[in-house]
Structure 1
Amino acid sequence: MYHSVLYTVVDVDVSYNIIIGRSTLNKLGVVVSTLHLCMKYPMGQEVGRVWTDHRVTRRCYEYNLRIGSQPSQAEEPDMNVLDLYLDHRCEDECERPLLAEDLKEVSIGPKPTHKTQVGMALAKEDESRLVSFLWENRDVFAWSSADMPGIDPDFLHHHLLVSLGSWLVAQQRRKLGEEK
């Protein structure tokens, strides 16, 4: 039995190979147990299983606790930071994403409201390639509810039914707690 699954490929360094949503897991008949660090799924007449080794997980957890509880030896602020990459599948040094602090707006559509943000730390060549890629693929962005044809408009719109002849009444303020 095969099911087609729609997913998005993103070129980002993360510890996951794929993120599957709950609806897809349910469609595939997958049972996930976070307590047992195990996932089971039907495979024809058998049951497939994905699990992790509890001992390795426990060692990583305890090692991280030891590193986090060590007091700082230096009187000056630390200049060297220890980053642990716990994915054993990646032997080479993997870059981590930067914090989203220094961003600048770039226009990726014909209207002035069609903007997004990119990091200022990008090299000019990388930034121009990224902006041109976003411009070429601007049709995948939803700028308004009209850009989402597969979604029911009743889900997007809120209707407040008020009789035209009714009086406006201001609701009294509710006390949520004692003011101190």
Structure 2
Amino acid sequence: MDSGSGLNLIYKDTLDKMHIDKARIEQSNTTFQDIIPSREARCSGKIKLDVVFGTPENYRSEELLFHMAPFNSGYHALLGRDAFSRFQAIPRYGYIKLKMPGPNGIITITSDPGKALRAKNKTASLALEALSEALAAEELTTLRSTVDKDDVILDKRPKSTSFKPADEIVKFQVHPTDPNKTASIGAQLDPTVDAALRAFLRENWDIFAWHPSDMPRIPHRLAEHSLNIIKGFKPVKQTLR
């Protein structure tokens, strides 16, 4: 369950275990983020599947569009906002439950906390492993493009990707008239780089914001969100833990 996701995702190994006919899979150019940290992934296909919740006496069924994720995960699939909207479902993450209206009463889906934790940990481990491989591949590609492979021996030791801030910084005014609107740069920059950077920041001072009042034309919808609930339902406060 991920009510923050705009897509319903399913993983290739899940479809393999379901023995889905490959002819049903359509091409997809959709991309998504936040599965592997700081990396964008491209779906390898899309497929429509029937999803059913409940019991034979009280169930809901909807056809959902799933996008195929091109990597492994600790989960079989991920239900996003589209699924929650179609089923009018409300997740209870603290209790690992999903509730939705059914033809004969409320349908409640309950998960096992132990399985949920193991799936989360496995997914995090696989994501970090994929990120490490991606960073190593990018670093090697960059190195090969800037040096002659016949003149150097590539060092196999891991490279640090951490950012180290400057030990000393200096502030200077970037606004034409307001001395309080400043920017900070490293104090040990090369004189040529220092002069070019100062000139660039002064020329583009208008893109910076020091106060909310400096952003008068930002649409409210970028800072607001709404709750997708059924009209007429009584709000329920979650018990403090």
TM-score by length of 2: 0.31
TM-score (norm 1): 0.40
Give the structure, 1 or 2, with the largest relative contact order (CA under 8 Å, sep 6 or more).
2
